[in-house]
Amino acid sequence: MRILSANKQKMPLDSESRNIVLLSGLAIIIFVVMGFLNPKTFLSLTNLQGMCVQFAEFGILSYGMMMAMISGGIDLSLVGIANLTGIICSLVIKSMGGTTTSILLGMGAGLLVGIVCGIINGFFIGYFQIPPMLVTLSGLQLYTGIGLAITKGPAITGLPESFSQISNGKIYEIPYSLIIFTIITIVLCYLMKSTVYGQHVYFMGTNPVASRYSGINNLKITVLTYCLSGILGSVAGILMASRYNSAKSDYGTSYTLLTLLICVLGGISPNGGRGKVLGVTLSIVVLQLVSSALNIMRVNSFIKTFIWGLMLIGIMAVTWLIENYKSKAKR
């Protein structure tokens, strides 16, 4: 019994758990360092609330990317879905006079956009077996083009102030955006860890051929996954339109790169079948802390995008080296 208990205590953490511990430590270090260097700005209530509002948008988009990547694919169309959702939602609200009912109907129409776009993506990927990168990249251009055709270029403005409260409003100094993000995080944790659907997504992402022969309907799982990704993109689009209190076809253009970086940093395997919601959540927090620190230091937005690209390349290179080392060690 003593030997068994000793062995249990010495069991090493798996790669996903190690990644979560590393991200937690990194978040604490960044928070402490910036709190020490610039406490008045970084630790101010306004800055903390602003971070919560902003990371809810790209964080929810990152969850959509996470779902697609775990299933063995990728969803590059999320920003296009988000902007098209914001445009449709805004048009419905304006056409109905900006009442509370119009806001609810507008959000419903926006979510329907995400469902339709997700089903289109999933069907082409699952039924026609077209590579997800090609389908979703084409989807990004298609949905962005539809939004541009509707708006003719300029942003849709003149939305009611009550609509902007969805993203900018607070309850006891806690932003609504953070509450929405937290609810979505809890739901996804349960969905991926405690449901048959979640296990099927992981299995299909690990080996789609084996999952098909084991009786899993790969087409159904693929369509459901991209449909869910589309819904998450729509929620993010509603939050974006609410924060700006306007809608346009080119909002959040840097979010595609950022969501990929978040997922890879959060331990989601580009090959599918591996990763945890908690890892992505911590990665979202870390990237928001880094972004806020760069903003406080007045770093140019183009340089920030360059830094995100370097980080993505670096993380993928390190991941490849680790996997290659492990495979050689096994041999």
317 by Cβ neighbours in 10 Å (0-12 / 13-18 / 19+) ranks as exposed
Q: Which residues contact 163 (CB under 8 A, 6 or more apart)?
A: 93, 98, 103, 106, 241, 242, 245
Q: What is the pLDDT of residue 10?
A: 45
pLDDT, tens digit (0-9, with 9 covering 90-100), for 169-207? 999 889 999 999 999 999 999 999 999 999 999 999 999
pLDDT, tens digit (0-9, with 9 covering 90-100), for 104-130? 999 999 999 999 999 999 999 999 999
Q: Flag residues of the chain having pLDDT under 70.
A: 1-14
Q: What is the pLDDT of residue 12?
A: 52
Tell me how far apart the alpha carbons of residues 12 and 26 are, in angstroms, rounded to a whole number: 20
CA neighbor of 35 nearest in space, from 48, 49, 22: 48
119 by Cβ neighbours in 10 Å (0-12 / 13-18 / 19+) ranks as middle
CA neighbor of 188 nearest in space, from 108, 268, 292, 84: 268
- How many contiguous H segments (helices) and E segments (strands) does the chain have? 15, 2
b/e map of 274-308 (b: 16 or more CB within 10 Å)? bbbbbbbbbbbbbbbbbbbbebeeeeeeeebeeeb
What domains, with CATH codes, occur in the chain? Answer: 41-330 (1.10.3470)
Query: Is residue 174 within a helix (H) or strand (E), and if so which, with residue range?
Result: strand 174-175
Q: What are phi and psi of 254, to 5 degrees?
A: -85, -5
Residue pair 242/90 in contact by the 8 Å Cβ criterion: no
Q: What is the pLDDT of residue 7?
A: 43
Q: What is the pLDDT of residue 14?
A: 67
Question: What Cα–Cα distance (Å) separates residue 194 from each residue in 18, 170, 186, 190, 277?
Answer: 22, 32, 12, 5, 12
Residue pair 126/239 in contact by the 8 Å Cβ criterion: no
SS3 of residue 170 by DSSP? strand
Q: What is the pLDDT of residue 217?
A: 96
